[in-house]
């Protein structure tokens, strides 16, 4: 059952205030002074860092400010046990334990873990973190979560390249997913995905673009409900100059409003040889929201030539905003990285990963719908932690010279 968007604020504030109150009463019961944490440490045999944290919790300007210093359940238990041995009443000590258990239940229900609760409150402007050591990418992820009010656990991009009915043509199936998508503010309306196909020069094309499999008339185009969460909200569809967009309406925040969304499309009958307009085949994943991880897989037929060096990874940023077409992917905007494509094991390749539950079934479904033999494919993978928002991750490989005059292939 989903909760109202205010519940996470009301319940966490109440739980924190209750915990602070019981700590103050526990200190009072044994004559401990929160203003003198060093004295408390010496008197009751407690770690100085722990008594300093407890003092900051009790003296914080407000309940959410106390989160910066609130010890974990083990630290609380150590303090309660020590003060209990010093003469604190049993019921007073138990009230602190009960308040801590209540707070942990609120965290689990609304956010999953304390870090996520803090991030949600930060996004709402109710909490400000003090100093914390993190990587630059993770700091950027956290900042974007706080600013934009959305996040995803995993951004999935799967490209499957296989033969078409013609010897000179291929087809590409693109499967995209946002797993663990959640809002951090209730009023956020967000673009879940955008569908685009371009040639090398950035000219859009819809030739051969269509559904992977037939769908009911009342079903949203290109959304794959069999791979989405049962409670996923209805998605708005808009066709514009930048492609077809699917938008998520405002809704509940936190864990109770989280869901997985999968979409996909096929581009059939793409020429497989190079021509003056296309020297490369490429597939791409646009990073348009804060994600903890990007999982990008390329699955190709064994007869698809990938060049002497194999496929390569390029990452382009869009520092000036605007349309994220390949025409804007200049060398000046290419971002440095040290990510490598790893070849997946087996044929068919083993794609299973905890990041994407049921992933193998998704790939098997694609092969079935396209009439491809899974054992004739090989695979490559790159996994990027905290991918840079407002960027495009591209996997590309050189197209072979045509045996005769054939146009090229480029799907993105």
pLDDT digits (tens, 9 = 90+) for 146-156: 999 999 999 99
Strand order in the sheet with 291-301: 209-210, 259-271, 169-183, 150-163, 291-301, 377-385, 342-343
pLDDT at position 97: 97
Q: Is the pLDDT of residue 26 over 60?
A: yes
Specify the pLDDT at position 182: 92
- Sorted by sequence, the CB contacts under 8 Å of residue 106 that are 6+ apart come out as 11, 12, 15
As a whole number, the mean pLDDT across the chain is 86
Note the pLDDT of residue 207.
62
> What does the block give as tokens for 103?
């707070």
Average pLDDT of the segment spanning 213-232: 87
Range name among 122-136, 298-312, 364-378, 391-405 with the lowest pLDDT average: 122-136
Q: What is the pLDDT of residues 131-185, one digit of tens each?
A: 665 667 888 999 999 999 999 999 999 999 999 876 678 899 999 999 999 999 8
User: Nearest 5 degrees, angle CA 365-CA 367-CA 371?
Assistant: 120
Give mean pLDDT, residues 37-49: 95
- Model confidence at 38: pLDDT above 50: yes
pLDDT per residue over 322-334, tens digit each?
545 555 556 778 8
Say if residue 362's pLDDT is above 80. yes
Q: How confident is the model at residue 410 (pLDDT cuts 50, 70, 90)?
A: very low
Q: How would residue 90 be classed by pLDDT, with cut points 50, 70 and 90?
A: very high
Verify cis geometry, omega within 30 degrees of 0, for the bond prior to 348.
yes
Cα–Cα distance list, 110 to 103, 117, 145 (Å): 11, 8, 17
Range with the poorest average pLDDT among 16-30, 36-50, 238-252? 238-252
Q: How many CA atoms lie within 13 A of 194 on its CB side?
A: 21
Residue that has been written with the tokens 């996994």 in this structure: 383
Q: What is the pLDDT of residue 202?
A: 53
- Under the banding of pLDDT at 50, 70 and 90, the label for residue 274 is confident
Three state DSSP letters for 368-394: HHHCCCHHHEEEEEEEEECCCCCEEEE
């Amino acid at each position: 059952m989903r909760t109202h968007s205010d519940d996470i604020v009301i319940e966490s504030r109440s739980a924190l205030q209750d915990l602070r109150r019981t700590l103050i009463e526990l200190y009072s019961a044994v004559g401990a002074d929160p203003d003198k944490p060093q004295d408390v440490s010496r008197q009751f045999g407690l770690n100085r860092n722990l008594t300093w944290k407890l003092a900051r919790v009790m003296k914080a300007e407000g309940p959410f400010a106390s989160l910066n210093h609130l010890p974990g359940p083990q630290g609380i238990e150590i303090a309660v046990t020590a003060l209990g041995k010093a003469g604190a009443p049993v019921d007073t000590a138990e009230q602190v334990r009960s308040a801590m258990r209540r707070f942990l239940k609120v965290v689990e229900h609304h956010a999953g873990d304390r870090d996520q609760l803090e991030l949600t409150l930060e996004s709402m402007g109710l909490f400000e973190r003090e100093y914390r050591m993190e990587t630059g990418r993770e700091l950027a992820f956290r900042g974007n979560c706080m600013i934009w009010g959305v996040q995803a656990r995993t951004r999935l991009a799967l490209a499957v390249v296989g033969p078409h009915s013609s010897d000179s043509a291929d087809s590409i199936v693109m499967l995209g997913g946002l797993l663990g998508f959640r809002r951090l503010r209730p009023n956020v309306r967000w673009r879940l995905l955008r569908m685009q196909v371009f040639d090398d020069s950035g000219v859009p094309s819809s030739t051969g673009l269509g559904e992977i499999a037939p769908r009911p008339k009342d079903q949203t185009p290109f959304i794959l409900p069999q791979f989405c969460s049962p409670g996923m909200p209805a998605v708005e569809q808009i066709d514009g100059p930048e492609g077809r967009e699917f938008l998520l309406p405002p809704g509940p925040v936190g864990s109770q409003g989280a869901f997985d969304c999968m979409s996909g499309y096929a581009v059939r009958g793409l020429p497989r040889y190079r021509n003056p307009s296309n020297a490369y085949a490429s597939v791409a994943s646009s990073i348009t929201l804060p994600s903890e991880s990007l999982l990008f897989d390329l699955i190709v037929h064994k007869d698809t030539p990938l060049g002497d060096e194999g496929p390569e990874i390029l990452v382009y940023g869009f520092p000036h905003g605007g349309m994220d077409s390949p025409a804007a992917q200049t060398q000046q905007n290419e971002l440095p990285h040290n990510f490598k494509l790893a070849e997946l094991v087996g044929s068919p390749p083993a794609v299973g990963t905890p990041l994407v539950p049921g992933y193998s079934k998704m790939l098997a479904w694609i092969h079935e719908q396209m009439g491809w033999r899974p054992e004739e494919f090989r695979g490559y993978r790159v996994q990027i932690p905290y991918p840079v928002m407002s960027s495009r991750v591209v996997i590309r490989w050189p197209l072979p010279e045509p045996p005769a005059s054939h146009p090229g292939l480029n799907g993105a």
